[in-house]
Structure 1
Amino acid sequence: MSEIASVSIRPFDLPLKEPFEISLGTQHEASNLLVTLETESGVTGYGEGSPIPPVTGETQAAAIETARATADLIEGREVGNYRELVDELRSAFPGMASALFAVETAILDAYCRERELPLSELFGGTPGRVETDLTIPILESEVAADRAVCAAEAGYEQLKIKTGGDVTTDVERVAAVADVAPDAALKVDANQGWSPKETARFAEELRTRGIDLDLIEQPVPASDIAGLAATRDIVDVPIAADESVFTPQDAIRVVREEAADIINAKLGKSGPLAVADIAAIAESSHLDLMIGCMLESAVGIHTSAHIVAGIGAFSHVDLDGNRLLAEDVIDASGPIHRISGPGHGVIPIE
């Protein structure tokens, strides 16, 4: 294995097709960062991060500054020692989730490209077709229904609907989607917007309308693990922990406090290696696994899809970030990610 010769970072701004509103705010573009890592043998690895301040606590500028600071720690080091490098980076820059996801991905991508190995094989599986859901943001019910019709026509069989505001309005939005897409499997993501009682009222109103949900994701604030557990006790719909879990230690706490039925592991929160650890914790504790994303291009999304193919334990796949962009770095559409190697298989267009 060769040494890391250079690391470069640049802003990676990606306009969205439409404004994307969730309970935490509205985004009009993805203000990401792209890391390019070159080894002394001439191999290049790419990594992407998508900082979202209300979720990761980082601005784009802060994430870029952190990623640039990592160069001093990893340049001149063997790319094959990727696990040691990642451990050092996460100790040196705690909490900088998006920056470290980008750098970690670039390291793993370069390692796999040097070995002509698909990234998925580093995690135990071969690349293949990975099917995602499609997210419908917070919209008026009629507009949400139109989006659902378009999604169904495009082949999406699973839809995730953003909620977390007024319960009655959220119920009407979900009901409108269920009405026009009766065969779709439905998930709901409240992004920390409700209390346990509001979550219970939401679930009960949908139940009385005969609408089934696969899960309700992160209904209460991330820090309120007791509230998450209380919600799980009073709601029949499976509860997923998302923003409550950034690290394997967070996952262990959710398991110990019986706070969720499902853990949503995102590379944008944890990085590939930690997601593998979180998946092992969930599996050993008989919790279901979901994988999610931020608003990433195919660089980040295909990295996550390789983890899905490699680990093979995810019951719920929410990797639609690049489907929400006005233009991606590759030409792709629809619910199927067709991944390949070496590495994550994506070379971003400058």
Structure 2
Amino acid sequence: MKMKGIAETMPGDEIESIRFRQMVRPLKTAFSTALGHKNNMQSVIVEARLNDGSKGRGECATSFVLPHETPERIKRILGEEGPRLRGKKAGDFPGTVSALREKYPSCPMTVSGLEIALFRAWLAHTGRPESLWFGGALSRIETDITIPHTTDENILRPWVGRAAR
């Protein structure tokens, strides 16, 4: 089954609710950049539920690069937009997300997390796997990872051990 690159609406794909919760998780090692360091990961998990029971989740992460996009601001935006999205078609997520990007240009992580939640809820509604949307590759995926920049073996050993798992 081949997927189109653009979503289509289907009967029963209306958004019923947008729910969210803050998540704080300790990191195994401190994350440091020139902008600062942190020992905990803070994000907001957003869930979109459709009227047929389909649901999808996304993550609105926080970043040193966007210090104004705090968990509190993310939750405020999601709290405002959730009721506005109720009844809209999940298959219209490209247009919905485009409008949200215009409305919240300084909060890309919030919009991205909501986009993924809507996208995954719509995919669940259609019964199509996420891998099919991205070309059907199941055995290989390209990604970007953080690699420590050090030659100290005492620091590298735990990183390599975790990466090998």
Equivalent-residue separation in structure 1 for 2:80 and 2:129 (angstroms): 28
Q: Which residue of 1 aligns with 2:131?
A: 120
Q: Which residue of 1 aligns with 2:114?
A: 103
Q: Which residue of 2 aligns with 1:136?
A: 148
Alignment of 1:23-172 (within 5 A): 23-52=34-63, 54-56=64-66, 57-130=68-141, 133-136=145-148, 142=152, 145-153=153-161
Correspondence 1:20 to 2:31: yes
Contact 2:55 2:121 in 1 (8 A): yes
CA shift, 1:153, in A, is 4.7
CA shift, 1:21, in A, is 1.3
CA shift, 1:125, in A, is 3.2
Letter in 2 for 1:125: G
CA shift, 1:97, in A, is 1.3
CA shift, 1:72, in A, is 3.2
Letter in 2 for 1:146: N
1 or 2 for the larger relative contact order (CA 8 Å, sep ≥6)? 2
The 1:155–1:61 alpha-carbon spacing in structure 2 relative to 1, beyond 3 Å, is closer
Output the TM-score relative to the length of structure 2.
Answer: 0.80
- Give the unaligned 5+ runs of structure 1: 157-333, 335-350
The 1:154–1:10 alpha-carbon spacing in structure 2 relative to 1, beyond 3 Å, is closer
Secondary structure of the residue aligned to 1:70 is: helix
Letter in 1 for 2:113: A
Letter in 1 for 2:148: I
CA shift, 1:33, in A, is 0.1
Q: Tell me the percent identity.
A: 24
Letter in 2 for 1:147: I
Contact 2:17 2:83 in 1 (8 A): no
Equivalent-residue separation in structure 1 for 2:25 and 2:159 (angstroms): 22
Contact 1:66 1:96 in 2 (8 A): no
The 1:79–1:16 alpha-carbon spacing in structure 2 relative to 1, beyond 3 Å, is same
CA shift, 1:148, in A, is 2.1
Secondary structure of the residue aligned to 1:135 is: coil
Equivalent-residue separation in structure 1 for 2:23 and 2:146 (angstroms): 23
Output the TM-score relative to the length of structure 1.
Answer: 0.40
Deviation digits for residues 195-219 of structure 1 (CA, Å, limit 9, x no counterpart)? xxxxxxxxxxxxxxxxxxxxxxxxx
Alignment of 1:249-268 (within 5 A): none
- CA-atom RMSD in angstroms: 2.2
